[in-house]
A = this chain, B = another copy of it.
Amino acid sequence: MITIREVAERAQTSIATVSRVLNNLDGYSEQTKVKVLKAAEELGYESNAIARSMIIKKTNTIGVVFPNISSMITYEFLNGIEDVTYKNDFSVIVSYTYSQPERMMKALRTLYEKRVDGIIFTSDEVTDDYLNYLEKIDIPVVFLSTKSEKSTIPYVKVNDFAAAFDAVDYLIKNEHTNIGLIAGNPDDTIAGIPRIEGYKAALKKAGLPVREEFIRYGYDFSFNDGKSRFEDLINENPDITAVFAVSDEMASGAITAAHQMGIDIPGQISIMGYDNTMISEVAYPALTTLAQPLRKMGSEAVKLLIKMIKGDQFKEEVVLDHSVIERQSVKKRNKSES
């Protein structure tokens, strides 16, 4: 491996000077600059970031931990993250934890050992263990699509409660009154409970009853989850005319179930998704869905993180806007039919 030392020899100068010109500092003549650059070029020298990191105590690397969320969401987040890390010359180490505590702890520990400059903690429940560790290692962290009441760690999120509220409200505005919910896990304080509460709140605000039998709880926001919950839900409640599924994958699972059950979407039942991932376009009929600005969430999270790394310690909380994307899976209910 070519080192700065060899460059110095060839350029007949000292390593200090080589370091200076290579880092665009000052304190050398134009002449030596040329000599050094030439020598470096000829030797094909490339600096060793490891050695530099030892001294400057910065790695220009951040870590991102993902649980086991939808492929499309992960992808969008990562793209948004990459957009800005690229511009800021940061590298990103990604770890999938599958929401397993041991994997998460190992991932966090590894990131710390490798001395990443910051961490983006994505979409997962923040346990005390995680929080304690994050506080102990004391490096900048931002939560993406999650948060913790117990800490002051900044986050970037959508307001899940408000988003679910708006989704259900949209269904209500389309004259639906018997609205089913395919929910997340009711123990999930991040993407589970707030969306359930949003659903209930929208119903209440419209003077509609909240009927527990209209709610089905899923586990992992998956296609199969949505599919089997939908079957259950509709079989036991034939009077439902619209269902809100709290992820696009679940919603498309519901659509597939409907096809198999011979139910016309949106003719007989309207279905609304959540996320606005690519799936909502691919589904047939295309999904009307509650859009999260996934990519932007990723990029905002790194922007915030980099600010913190650079020393601006003001801890913000970024709540991004959501919106309803109208496609074909929701139809205004024809009251005369019922």
Say yes or no for A25: interface residue by CB 8 A criterion.
Answer: no
Q: Which residues of B contact A114 (CB under 8 A)?
A: 49-50, 59, 61, 91
Say yes or no for A93: interface residue by CB 8 A criterion.
Answer: yes
Do B96 and A93 touch (CB < 8 A)? no
Say yes or no for A112: interface residue by CB 8 A criterion.
Answer: yes
With known contacts A49-B114, A72-B71, A91-B93, A284–B284 Cβ distance under 8 A:
yes
Do B279 and A279 touch (CB < 8 A)? yes
Q: Which residues of B contact A137 (CB under 8 A)?
A: 46
Q: Which residues of B contact A259 (CB under 8 A)?
A: 284
Do B53 and A50 touch (CB < 8 A)? yes
Say yes or no for A88: interface residue by CB 8 A criterion.
Answer: no
Do B278 and A44 touch (CB < 8 A)? no
Which one of B48, B223, B283 contacts A115 once the chains associate, using CB atoms below 8 Å? B48
In Å, the complex CA distance between A255 and B259 comes to 16
* Residue in B closest to A64 when the chains form the complex, CB atoms: B94
Min Cβ gap A313→B in Å is 19
Which of A75-83, A147-155, A236-244, A330-338 faces chain B? A75-83
Q: Which residues of B contact A93 (CB under 8 A)?
A: 61, 91-93
Q: Which residues of B contact A223 (CB under 8 A)?
A: 278, 281-282
Further pairs besides A54-B54, A259-B284, A279-B279: 14, Cβ < 8 Å: A44-B136, A50-B53, A72-B75, A74-B75, A79-B96, A82-B96, A86-B103, A91-B95, A93-B93, A94-B94, A223-B282, A255-B284, A256-B281, A278-B279
User: How many residues on A have C-beta within 8 angstroms of the other chain's C-beta atoms?
Assistant: 50
Say yes or no for A113: interface residue by CB 8 A criterion.
Answer: yes
Say yes or no for A110: interface residue by CB 8 A criterion.
Answer: yes
Q: Which residues of B contact A50 (CB under 8 A)?
A: 50, 53-54, 59, 114-115
18 A-B pairs with CB atoms under 8 Å apart are: A46-B112, A48-B115, A50-B59, A50-B114, A50-B115, A71-B278, A86-B103, A91-B93, A91-B110, A92-B94, A92-B95, A93-B93, A252-B282, A255-B284, A256-B282, A256-B284, A278-B279, A279-B279
One digit per residue, 1 when the CB lies within 8 angstroms of any chain B CB and 0 when it does not, for chain A 30-69 equals 0000000000000010111111011000010100000000
Say yes or no for A315: interface residue by CB 8 A criterion.
Answer: no
Say yes or no for A109: interface residue by CB 8 A criterion.
Answer: yes
* Residue in B closest to A280 when the chains form the complex, CB atoms: B282
Q: Which residues of B contact A75 (CB under 8 A)?
A: 71-72, 74-75
* Residue in B closest to A111 when the chains form the complex, CB atoms: B91
